[in-house]
Amino acid sequence: MATEGGGKEMNEIKTQFTTREGLYKLLPHSEYSRPNRVPFNSQGSNPVRVSFVNLNDQSGNGDRLCFNVGRELYFYIYKGVRKAADLSKPIDKRIYKGTQPTCHDFNHLTATAESVSLLVGFSAGQVQLIDPIKKETSKLFNEEEITGGKSNDIQDNNHAY
């Protein structure tokens, strides 16, 4: 109900407001529940890449989503833009040390509900082939050219390389 003076509605719901402690704003569920929130840093940047694949499984949830934030790589079931993924329960999560993922892509031709190949490129030039469904790590390429044959800077949550 608006006032006669042309003012705003009395029952308007605010989505953000400022106090002396800072800015409060209403966040979507997907942003609020993001694991390991990285504080805003205006000096550096953590490039985020996103890859999608459709596995054509029988459950109707065939879409999968992979994204990286800094040195972490996440793999989730994607349910579309209208329903947020449960970011507290990734299918696979990998944390790398030394280098960070800069790009990744799925092999759409060989993807099945039981296995999918994900190729990940790193900031130091290495390339790794992984299967996030089986939680397997296949091979690390360009390792010897960058590090002289001995690398211990790529690590996922299960292994160190």
> How many residues can be counted in the chain?
161
Q: What is the pLDDT of residues 81-132, one digit of tens each?
A: 777 777 788 888 999 888 888 889 998 888 888 888 999 998 888 899 999 8
Whole-angstrom distance, CA of residue 96 vs CA of residue 109:
27
What is the H or E stretch that residue 74 is in? strand 72-77
Every domain of the chain and the residues it spans: 49-161
Helix (H) or strand (E) holding 64: strand 63-69
What tokens does 42 get? 């205006």
Please tell me whether residue 34 adopts helix, strand or coil conformation.
Answer: coil
pTM for the complete prediction? 0.59
